[in-house]
Amino acid sequence: MTALGGGSVLQKGLSSSSKLRRLVDAADSAVPDRVPNGVKPTALRRAGKLDDSVPDADVPTGRMSAKLNDMPGPRRQQTTEQFDQLDSDGKDYLGDTDIDDPTLKATDLFENTGPSGRRALNDLAESDQDAADALLQMDDAATQRRFVRAYESGEVDSDELTTALTRYDSLDADGKAEFDEMLARNGDDAADFAGRTDSDTFDAVVSPCGARSAPSLGRAGSLRTDRYHSVATPPSTLAQSGGSCPDLPVDVEDDLQDALVNVDGDLDADSVDDVRRSINELDGDAQDSATNLIESEGTDGVSVTNDATVLSDGSNSVLTDGEVDDLVRAYDTYSDKSYGRDVRDIQDDIDDLDQNDVDGLDDAINRGTSSSGDDISSNMKGLDGEVEVNSDLLDRDDIDANDLEMDKQIREDSSWETDSLQSSDYNSNTDIDSDIDGGPAYEVKNLDYEPFAEFPRAYEETADSLDDLRTKLNTFGASGQDEIVVVVRQDADTAFAPEVQRSLSGQLSGAESLRDLGDQVESNFDGVEVTFKRFNEVETS
Amino acid sequence: MMEGVAQAGFYTWDPNGVEHVLNEVLSVADHAELPYTWDGDEPATATDIGLGDVLLLHADETEFRIRFEPDDEIERRLKRFLGLSTSARYLVGTDEHGDQYEGYTATFVDLIRRLSIALEPDYVSVGHPVKDVRPSPLEIMPTEGVFEIERLPWLSVYSPSLIDQFGWTDRISASPAWKVDQLDTGAVLLIKTQEPWADVSRDHPLDKHLLDGDDA
């Protein structure tokens, strides 16, 4: 530093060129205390060359040379070369723009992003100078770099980059800081999100309590979710009262934002507002589950979270807040499994049953979600099948919702015992998945009866499961159900595996299929009819 | 309330013969005051017991189904010789602060404990009731070759020799399980979680403690 820092060295270098003399004059006028000490001649030369490259732009050469002086040589060269390689749009832009010190800011951009930044600036200068201004005026180098990288990689095109930068520029200081952090966590995905989403949705995700809250009046007409259709007060008014801007825990807010920016689908501001309010109603574990659900299921995760929380709204709600917490947790666990339907389909059926005030829905949901860990998935699979069948039954013209009851409890009665049917032939305490008043009782088995492996244990387990079904259907018959419908995922006439058949005991000895099991139950009671249906047959017959 | 069948499998290196096993089971049933009947015709002799013969032990609300396997011919070190199953819908946890099961679940666990003392199996495991939801039962089942347990079931019993083979001698008594019971035979009965099957994942601290040697 000191070897090049003396005034004599500077003067020696400057005297060799009239251009450099003009440079020093400019530097003197820009920097009252003359050229900063320690500025290398190369930095001054580069500043001068840069001035030549953009003749119409104002280059404060004193500060420019100081800025260049701070760069390592190769970077200084690469940075200043970008000015040479700017196209006419870029050069004209630097001369035309109203922002302060555009060439200094462009130098920062080029130092930060290299040729990628120059290409982005060229394109923005041609298409939207406001966006070019926004790119240059970014204070956060990492954010600027990520925007440029997203454009260079093709993750966002020119229009999207323009949109993203305009969105960013509209944020207040807190919003920008929020977005900087989001971009740091999500990289190109956040830049892409900023480029493809509409302004309201962007604000709803990034700055729900900032820029968005005041001016968004009159959006009621754009509501897309059902959540507030029946609410007279539009969300924008809620926003003004603070209802739209719940203060989520920082980690939950971060997780929510990260999940939302990665949603590959049509998000809208209202559903984002809704889901933030919905998550605010959940307990801590369920909040984590909701953000996981949005991350894995995208827009379905948003709508399912919103619809699930509606189930505890109002005085006649089907669930309590705590039960909704359990449901959301169960959805999160279940959505990770390879089996079962999408959680959106399950929630659709629950909504259908709730809107028709079907008795027993609350018990069914609570049974499906009542435990923890792996157990949730086990019970959720049952709930999945149960709500599917009951919703299909509702769709039938011959069934009235008022006649439908889910999870109807049955207790074994000692009077049921006969010479041929002992207590062990019944379930002491069971339930009917779907009981139609004056009609059939439905037992829903969302499974098949195939052994899990070719081992004695698997054969025995399957045989015991079939015996469990037999005793349950006996319980239905003894309790007075004449029509019993068993909904299963396999053909009732398909023969059980030979080893399973050999493992059947007692009354089931010799049974070869579910149809034989049904016949066995029918033979125990006068007038009882057992039929088997596949899931896709319930709605039509 | 969980649907499905909960099944405890009893395994040993040296099967004792079905007659001995039957006698011990009947003795345990007597001591536990559980009446028993055969589901269907009673086999003429113990040696006539086959796949479809099931002994029912009657409890207050339901029954336990016991199957004997006199001819387990699967090539593996541990032979399965007894199966104890029941409807999973009756198996429930106790209240949050309780340290003992109650009712039917207590009877089920007590029956496994009694049978483990009487029959001295080398390994007992209770599988998850729902086959396409649970982790693979093969992870807790002895199949072929040397038995390497890959995941710990909700409830399991290990003989002293199996504990030694697994290298758990110095660790098992300090296992982070809901219950760690040392039986009179030296075997250890582990119950992973108070709520049956609440967490049968490989990530449970019990799995990390015994399978990974992780005490964290």
Determine whether the interchain pair A381/B133 forms a contact, defined as Cβ–Cβ distance below 8 Å.
yes
In chain B, what percentage of residues exceed pLDDT 90?
59
User: Hey, is the C-beta of B121 within 8 angstroms of any chain A C-beta?
Assistant: no
pLDDT at A106 (0 to 100): 94
**Nearest CA among A257, A162, A136, A132 for reference residue A202:** A257
Residues 498-517 of A with CB under 8 A from B: 499, 502-507, 509
Residue B7: what residue type?
Answer: Q
Instruction: Please give the Cα distance from A375 to A381 (Å, whole number).
Output: 10
Q: Alpha carbon of A110 to those of A64, A113, A114, A119: distances in Å?
A: 13, 5, 5, 10
User: Hey, is the C-beta of B198 within 8 angstroms of any chain A C-beta?
Assistant: yes
pLDDT at A31 (0 to 100): 45
pLDDT at A221 (0 to 100): 28
Where is pLDDT greater, at A229 or A399? A399
Lowest-pLDDT range of A125-139, A146-160, A201-215, A460-474: A201-215
Q: What is the mean pLDDT of residues B124-139?
A: 81
User: Hey, is the C-beta of B71 within 8 angstroms of any chain A C-beta?
Assistant: no
For residue A321, is pLDDT > 60? yes
Query: How many Å lie between the alpha carbon of B181 and the closest alpha carbon of chain A?
Result: 24
pLDDT at A375 (0 to 100): 57
Residue in chain A lying closest to B125 (CA): A457
Q: How many CB atoms lie within 10 A of CB A536?
A: 10
What's the fold here for domain B5-211? Double Stranded RNA Binding Domain (3.30.160)
pLDDT at A232 (0 to 100): 34
Residues of chain A in contact with residue B137, where contact means CB-CB under 8 angstroms, are: 452-453, 457-458
The closest CB to that of A460, out of B83, B129, B138, belongs to B83
Where is pLDDT greater, at A8 or A332? A332
pTM given for the model = 0.80
Distance of alpha carbon A314 from the chain centroid:
27
User: Hey, is the C-beta of B78 within 8 angstroms of any chain A C-beta?
Assistant: no
Determine whether the interchain pair A378/B62 forms a contact, defined as Cβ–Cβ distance below 8 Å.
no
Q: What is the mean pLDDT of residues A450-457?
A: 84
**Nearest CA among A473, A353, A318 for reference residue A410:** A473
Lowest-pLDDT range of A29-38, A270-279, A290-299, A454-463: A29-38
For residue A239, is pLDDT > 50? no
pLDDT at A212 (0 to 100): 37
Residues of chain B in contact with residue A326, where contact means CB-CB under 8 angstroms, are: none
User: Hey, is the C-beta of A461 within 8 angstroms of any chain B C-beta?
Assistant: yes
User: Hey, is the C-beta of A446 within 8 angstroms of any chain B C-beta?
Assistant: no
Predicted-complex ipTM score: 0.90
pLDDT at A533 (0 to 100): 96
pLDDT at A216 (0 to 100): 33
Residue in chain A lying closest to B87 (CA): A468
Where do we find the tokens 């099961």?
B101
**Nearest CA among B6, B13, B20 for reference residue B77:** B13
User: Hey, is the C-beta of B207 within 8 angstroms of any chain A C-beta?
Assistant: no
Query: How many Å lie between the alpha carbon of A504 and the closest alpha carbon of chain B?
Result: 5
pLDDT at A25 (0 to 100): 44
Q: In sequence order, what DSSP letters do the residues of A218-232 get, joined into one string? A: T-GGG--SSTTTT-S
Where is pLDDT greater, at A306 or A65? A306
User: Hey, is the C-beta of A130 within 8 angstroms of any chain B C-beta?
Assistant: no
Instruction: Please give the Cα distance from A151 to A188 (Å, whole number).
Output: 9
Determine whether the interchain pair A428/B62 forms a contact, defined as Cβ–Cβ distance below 8 Å.
yes
| pLDDT per residue as tens digits for the range A290-300 | 999 999 999 99
- For chains A and B, count residue pairs whose Cβ atoms are closer than 8 Å: 136
For residue A455, is pLDDT > 70? yes
| pLDDT per residue as tens digits for the range B67-81 | 998 766 666 678 889
Domain boundaries, chain B: 5-211
Lowest-pLDDT range of A303-317, A336-350, A495-509, B192-206: B192-206
Reported as a pLDDT band with limits 50, 70 and 90, residue A429 is confident
pLDDT at A37 (0 to 100): 66
Determine whether the interchain pair B200/A374 forms a contact, defined as Cβ–Cβ distance below 8 Å.
yes
In chain A, what percentage of residues exceed pLDDT 90?
56
Reported as a pLDDT band with limits 50, 70 and 90, residue A439 is very high
Lowest-pLDDT range of A38-42, A92-96, A304-308: A38-42
Residue in chain A lying closest to B83 (CA): A457
**Nearest CA among A75, A22, A28, A9 for reference residue A52:** A22
Give Cβ neighbours of residue A282 (< 8 Å, ≥ 6 apart).
A289, A290, A309, A324, A325, A328
Lowest-pLDDT range of A216-220, A305-309, A406-410, B183-187: A216-220
| pLDDT per residue as tens digits for the range A161-207 | 999 998 898 888 888 888 899 888 987 888 888 888 888 888 888 87
Residues 147-176 of B with CB under 8 A from A: none
Where is pLDDT greater, at B113 or A158? B113
Determine whether the interchain pair A502/B132 forms a contact, defined as Cβ–Cβ distance below 8 Å.
no
Whether the CB-CB separation of A368 and A383 falls below 8 Å is answered with yes
| pLDDT per residue as tens digits for the range B18-44 | 999 999 999 999 999 999 999 989 999
Query: How many Å lie between the alpha carbon of B183 and the closest alpha carbon of chain A?
Result: 25
**Nearest CA among A283, A293, A370, A298 for reference residue A333:** A293
User: Hey, is the C-beta of B37 within 8 angstroms of any chain A C-beta?
Assistant: yes
> Maximum distance among all alpha carbons in chain B?
55
Determine whether the interchain pair B132/A381 forms a contact, defined as Cβ–Cβ distance below 8 Å.
yes
pLDDT at A281 (0 to 100): 95
Instruction: Please give the Cα distance from A541 to B51 (Å, whole number).
Output: 39
pLDDT at A32 (0 to 100): 40
User: Hey, is the C-beta of A489 within 8 angstroms of any chain B C-beta?
Assistant: no
Average model confidence (pLDDT) across chain A: 84
Whether the CB-CB separation of A253 and A207 falls below 8 Å is answered with no
The closest CB to that of A502, out of B37, B52, B128, belongs to B52
